């Protein structure tokens, strides 16, 4: 009984320190509801409601402020280091985002996989960036502003930002063509599926590990291709850097191989990076039979057991194109 009393007291203290707003604010599953939804009565609000009914995540597209991007268990603060951003600046942008989420994201996943993975809120945002001020002895040496395309580790939110103010040194990753739109789709879906594996929503098949040696160091430098411990010969194709889904990272030279879980995730991500025809070209079965075997196993397993078609994610929808929104000269004025 004493343990229950202490735990209840601890919970009350934590919640009291987390939120200094009205104690009567509505909650869901013990989490404060910070936005009034639906946020409008447009056609996309119906789509957003359906996504919530299916996946338990609210797509938030307006009434966003800097503080919403900087919440923590000890309160809300925006300082010299933090995130800044706002919601969609016009209806065209909102419609674009919702259509993108429907066609390029939720069309390829399902609640079985995303349970315990997706946050309560997912911001559809404009001009999200981080700002760091470098200061020495009270003198500001420089300010660094970096566009933030994706946030997937917020307290109770994720954020997707495809549009922002011009920053030629480091522009937003805006999908102006199919190739970039493909990358944005994979940048979002890759971490979702990776988190699903780590959360146990996707269980690694027992026969996946057969044939791997996770205890002997790999070689991966130029000139070691004929070595029996060459990483591809050993069945380790690497993984994908999900930051912008632009390249495959290979195992470190003369280091131990990745774990079984890391290897499995790598096969999933590469199966999204390349379609099946490209995989066959990059990793020819006659040269790397173990890799070919594992790609086939992973893709079949994910499709049959979890209804995740990795090749479909790699290729994208046939009707992939979305009309880009117009950004007015005064982007702070919403229609």
Q: What is the pLDDT of residues 192-229, one digit of tens each?
A: 999 999 999 999 999 999 999 999 999 999 999 999 99
Place of tokens 């109770």: 156
Q: In degrees rounded to 5, what are phi and psi of residue 326?
A: -85, 130
Quick: pLDDT tens for 286-314.
999 999 999 999 999 999 999 999 999 99
d(CA 114, CA 112): 6
In the numeric block, which tokens belong to residue 267? 């096969």
Q: Is the peptide bond before 226 cis (omega within 30 degrees of 0)?
A: no
CB atoms near residue 208 (< 10 Å): 17
Quick: pLDDT tens for 173-200.
999 999 999 999 999 999 999 999 999 9
Q: What's the confidence (pLDDT) of residue 81?
A: 66
Quick: pLDDT tens for 242-287.
999 999 999 999 999 999 999 999 999 999 999 999 999 999 999 9
pTM: 0.85
Do residues 35 and 121 lie in contact, with contact meaning Cβ atoms separated by under 8 Å? yes
């Amino acid at each position: 009984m004493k343990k229950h009393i202490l735990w209840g007291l601890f919970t009350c203290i934590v919640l009291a320190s987390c939120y200094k707003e009205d104690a009567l604010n509505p909650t869901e599953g013990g989490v404060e509801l910070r936005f009034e939804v639906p946020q409008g009565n447009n056609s996309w609000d119906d789509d957003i409601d359906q996504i919530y009914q299916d996946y338990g995540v609210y797509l938030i597209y307006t009434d966003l402020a800097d503080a919403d991007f900087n919440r923590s268990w000890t309160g809300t603060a925006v300082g010299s280091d933090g995130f800044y951003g706002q919601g969609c600046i016009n209806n065209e942008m909102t419609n674009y985002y919702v259509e993108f989420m429907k066609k390029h994201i939720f069309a390829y996943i399902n609640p079985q996989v995303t349970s315990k993975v997706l946050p309560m809120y997912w911001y559809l945002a404009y001009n999200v960036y981080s700002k760091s001020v470098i200061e020495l002895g009270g003198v500001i040496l420089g300010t660094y502003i970096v566009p933030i395309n994706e946030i997937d580790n917020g307290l109770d939110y994720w954020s997707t930002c495809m549009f922002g103010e011009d920053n030629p040194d480091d522009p937003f990753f805006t999908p102006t063509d199919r190739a970039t739109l493909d990358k944005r789709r994979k940048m979002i879906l890759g971490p979702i599926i990776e988190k699903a594996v780590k959360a146990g929503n996707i269980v690694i098949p027992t026969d996946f590990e057969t044939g791997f040696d996770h205890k002997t160091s790999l070689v991966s430098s130029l000139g070691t291709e004929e070595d029996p411990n060459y990483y591809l010969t050993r069945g380790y194709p690497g993984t994908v850097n999900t930051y912008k889904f632009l390249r495959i990272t290979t195992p470190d030279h003369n280091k131990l191989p990745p774990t079984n879980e890391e290897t499995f995730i790598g096969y999933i991500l590469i199966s999204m990076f390349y379609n099946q025809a490209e995989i066959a070209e990059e990793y020819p079965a006659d040269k790397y039979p173990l890799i070919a075997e594992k790609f086939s196993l992973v893709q079949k397993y994910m499709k049959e057991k979890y209804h995740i078609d990795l090749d479909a994610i790699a290729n994208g929808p046939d009707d992939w194109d979305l009309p880009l929104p117009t950004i007015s000269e005064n982007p702070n004025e919403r229609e």
